[in-house]
Amino acid sequence: MKTLVRSVIALGLMLCIAPFTSLAHVKWFAAWSFEDSPAGLGDILTPMFFGLTLLTVAGLAVAVFLDKRLAESVAYKRITAWFDNRKQYATLVLRIGLGMTLMLAWADDRLLTPDLAQPNPVIGWLQFVLVLLLIFPQTVPVAGAGTLALYVLGVVEFGAFYMLDYFIFVGVGFYLIAAYLKDPRLHALRIPALYFSVGFSLMWVAIEKIVYPQWGLDVLANNPQLTLGLDPQFFLLSAGFIELALGYLLIIGLLERPLSVVITLVFFTTTLVFGKVEVIGHTIIHAALIVFLLEGTAQKHYPAPINIHSKLNWRLAFTAVNFVLLLAAFTVPYLMMAQSTYTNSLAYMGPLASQLWR
């Protein structure tokens, strides 16, 4: 029991010192536009960036040790066994979470999230119909397919670059389809797909804080108390790295259950600052985190990536190296897409401006 308590306290201290804005989606609260110039690679690769990268890797190493200590705890094994016995409720939780999200979005004339204004009223009613389909187990796969269709509509209307912020809905839609498939391998694929989609979304919006720092600084200018007296630029970059670490831990399946509890508590804390918009935007993530709490990662078909290695040294190396690789794999494409979007907006605004001056 002492091992469990110490590990949970250590994990809580690691994450509770995280800035509140690390889990707030900047686009919901900032004055932003894709016409804003993104930072260049030279602007990003600063000593502060490399220093926070090393600090994050050190924090991830601590997470590896905590995971090992928890795995050896008798009390923790009892807790995980309690959740394992309730895995059958996971799909129901996700159905309720998605239903609440769709209803909130429909009531606010939004598409899935607070910042996506519905391009067509018919789509709002489609979301309402999907809520009804989620009620009956027989029609849940149809609702899952409908969720994927809504995401595709979002891509058509707002662009793939924008919609990558909400890749979680791809994982949710797939989960609800695969949950009712009889093929054991396809059925089991729903869990890693949901982990990856949630982790991807967290990491992707974290890169946004790095590439478009002016958006996050706008939020901090309107809420200066969030910086805790720290330099806003340092605070924002730190927030981005914390979010990167959280998303990465979900992707590799490390500390999945304790992490789900802590992230959920931090989300509730940010709601006290940002209000109803946070509730609308984060309800689906809360549902996914509860699914992780119930499901864990243990399964025979698709073991968590971290479980490829059992020895501590290899797990440490795996965690550190792959974080750096994923950081690069997210940063470079994001930069390229941001620059392409910015260039296209300038190309569009040029002819428009010339017409206005005629």
5 occurs within a structural domain: no
299 occurs within a structural domain: yes
**Burial (0-12, 13-18, 19+ Cβ within 10 Å), 309:** middle
DSSP, collapsed to helix, strand or coil, labels residue 231 as coil
Tell me: pLDDT of 355 over 70: no
Is 335 within 8 Å of 61 (Cβ atoms)?
no
Query: What pLDDT score was predicted for residue 20?
Result: 46
Tell me how far apart the alpha carbons of residues 110 and 101 are, in angstroms, rounded to a whole number. 10
Query: Where would I find the H helices in 296-311?
Result: none
Query: What pLDDT score was predicted for residue 264?
Result: 80
pLDDT tens, position by position, 199-218: 999 999 999 999 999 998 88
Query: What pLDDT score was predicted for residue 2?
Result: 52
- Overall domain count for the chain: 1
Share of the chain above pLDDT 90, in %: 51
9 occurs within a structural domain: no
353 occurs within a structural domain: no
**Burial (0-12, 13-18, 19+ Cβ within 10 Å), 110:** buried
Tell me how far apart the alpha carbons of residues 71 and 351 are, in angstroms, rounded to a whole number. 62
330 occurs within a structural domain: yes
Query: What pLDDT score was predicted for residue 272?
Result: 64
Query: What pLDDT score was predicted for residue 347?
Result: 66
194 occurs within a structural domain: yes
pLDDT band of 38, cuts 50, 70, 90: very high
Question: Is the Cα dihedral 255, 261, 265, 270 positive or negative?
Answer: positive
Domain span at 207: 21-346
What 8-state DSSP symbol labels residue 37?
P
The amino acid present at 148, given as its one-letter code, is L
Q: Which residues pair with 117 in a beta bridge?
A: 110
Q: What is the pTM of this model?
A: 0.88
Query: What pLDDT score was predicted for residue 99?
Result: 96
99 vs 270, higher pLDDT: 99
The CA-based angle 150-117-155, given to 5 degrees, is: 40
Tell me: pLDDT of 225 over 80: no
DSSP, collapsed to helix, strand or coil, labels residue 73 as coil
Q: Which residues pair with 110 in a beta bridge?
A: 117
61 occurs within a structural domain: yes
274 vs 121, higher pLDDT: 121
Query: What pLDDT score was predicted for residue 255?
Result: 87
Tell me: pLDDT of 78 over 50: yes
Question: How many helical (H) and strand (E) elements, i.e. helices and strands, does the chain have?
Answer: 16, 0
Tell me: pLDDT of 18 over 60: no
Tell me how far apart the alpha carbons of residues 224 and 203 are, in angstroms, rounded to a whole number. 24
pLDDT band of 357, cuts 50, 70, 90: very low
Is 53 within 8 Å of 324 (Cβ atoms)?
yes
352 occurs within a structural domain: no
Average pLDDT of the residues in 251-271 = 81
Tell me how far apart the alpha carbons of residues 232 and 21 are, in angstroms, rounded to a whole number. 11
Share of the chain above pLDDT 70, in %: 87
Nearest Cα to 14, choosing from 259, 356, 287, 299? 259
Query: What mean pLDDT value characterizes the chain?
Result: 85
Angle between helices 190-211 and 168-178 (to 10 degrees): 180
pLDDT tens, position by position, 149-197: 999 999 999 999 999 999 999 999 999 999 999 999 999 999 999 999 9
Nearest Cα to 286, choosing from 198, 180, 170? 198
Question: Is the Cα dihedral 153, 156, 162, 163 positive or negative?
Answer: positive
